[in-house]
Structure 1
Amino acid sequence: MSEPDSPQSRKTVAYVLVAIAGLLILSNVGLFSFIGLTDLIGTLFRLLFNSIPYILTLAGIYWIVRSGRREAPTMAWLLTLFGAVLITSQLGLFGLSFGDMVAPMILLTVAFFLVNPRNLLPGRLNTSNEDLDPEEQEIKLFAFMGGGELNYHSRRLKGGEVMAVWGGYDIDFSDADMEGDSMQLNLYCIMGGVEITVPANWRVEKSGAMCIMGGYSNKTRDMAEELNLPPKTLVVTGLALMGGGEIRN
């Protein structure tokens, strides 16, 4: 990548914005009314808008569950809580509106951040290659409207997670190796992207990744036998929401 943020994430956001702009233009010139699609388009927009709280809640729950034995970052719990609050206000439960709960939620978020800022995020924010310890074994990265190109050199990688929100990383494992025969990498791309380069003897498996208007493409070729190298397996899982990534060697 020539710029800190991933081309995949920029393209995804650009396509979404162009699609929305196109729909708005067609609606304003009266095309939908002319062909009788006004009600249908309005229904689809309302359905999409009303489904946002459920998508956020499910994404948060999925994030927590996929954390496995590792402690889920506080951001995952806050995402789940935020979605649940939106659902509560949407259904009118307990007579509470979203406005009644937004102030307490902001205060709770600030309190969590003051007590333990490192636990609020799944990893360091917008890590650059200069900030990265080349021998680091556990991968914990978070990109928000930014990112970077990262080169790992550790021969004892243990896996981890990468989250990209309106940003992305280009991660190069070409000169690295995993500690055992396999490791798991959780990728959470929300309108963001991740590009990963792996050694030729790594086989990539996608396991249980939730993809909503996005996805991960595996363009690798397992060459362990040809190169007479020990085979290794990278298990990729996570969430792709209007974003995704590409893995190659």
Structure 2
Amino acid sequence: MTREDSQGDTIYVSSILSGNGKRVVSSHFKGGSVSAYLGGSEVDLTSATIASEGAVIDVNCIMGGIEFKLPAKMKLQNEVTAILGGSDVEGSPSSVTEGSTLIVREVLVLLEALASSIYPSLDITLIVG
């Protein structure tokens, strides 16, 4: 899996039959998109600061897996549309009521339910803290 740092305010990650990762170090992160088609990605946001107007990450995943690592003190809004798939939030999302919100909009197809018998690691996971 290829991993690299992203210092920009937006990210665009695409994995097709492969794997890659990004560690975001922006102090004004606005969002972007992450896609995985028969592949996988890791996005580490633990060193990022969300822009004051918030951030939106659009996620599209078909028979793949994406893992997000989030800081413990981040407001998270997870919006999921799943067809034979699922999304997990691991850890304890904090009860932060102030500050910027990270919105993760996910469209997931053929994860967990159907694909787990073939590829057990297929999943979308948001790890908090």
Same fold (TM over 0.5): yes
1:160 aligned residue (26, 32, 37): 32
Paired with 2:63 and 2:49, the residues of 1 have a C-alpha distance of: 29
The 8 Å contact of residues 148 and 170 in structure 1, kept in 2 or not, is answered as yes
The 8 Å contact of residues 21 and 41 in structure 2, kept in 1 or not, is answered as yes
Paired with 1:215 and 1:195, the residues of 2 have a C-alpha distance of: 13
Q: Which 4+ runs in 1 deviate beyond 6 A?
A: none
The 8 Å contact of residues 137 and 154 in structure 1, kept in 2 or not, is answered as yes
Structure 1 residue 190, shift from structure 2 partner: 0.2
TM-score, normalised to structure 1's length?
Answer: 0.43
Amino acid at match of 1:167: G
The higher-RCO structure (CA 8 Å, 6+ apart) is 2
Q: 5+ unaligned residues in a row in structure 2: which ranges?
A: 112-122
Whether 1:193 and 2:65 are equivalent positions in the alignment is: yes
Residues 224 and 238 (structure 1 numbering): CA distance in 2 closer, same or farther, change over 3 Å? closer
Q: Flag the structure with larger Rg.
A: 1
What's 1:233 paired with? 101
Q: If each structure's strand is expressed as a fraction of its own residues, which one has the higher value?
A: 2
Amino acid at match of 1:246: T
TM-score, normalised to structure 2's length?
Answer: 0.79
What's 1:67 paired with? none
Structure 1 residue 232, shift from structure 2 partner: 3.0
Paired with 1:193 and 1:164, the residues of 2 have a C-alpha distance of: 7
The 8 Å contact of residues 52 and 99 in structure 2, kept in 1 or not, is answered as no
What's 1:245 paired with? 124
Amino acid at match of 2:12: K
Paired with 2:9 and 2:19, the residues of 1 have a C-alpha distance of: 19
- SS for the counterpart of 1:200 is coil
Q: 5+ unaligned residues in a row in structure 1: which ranges?
A: 5-127
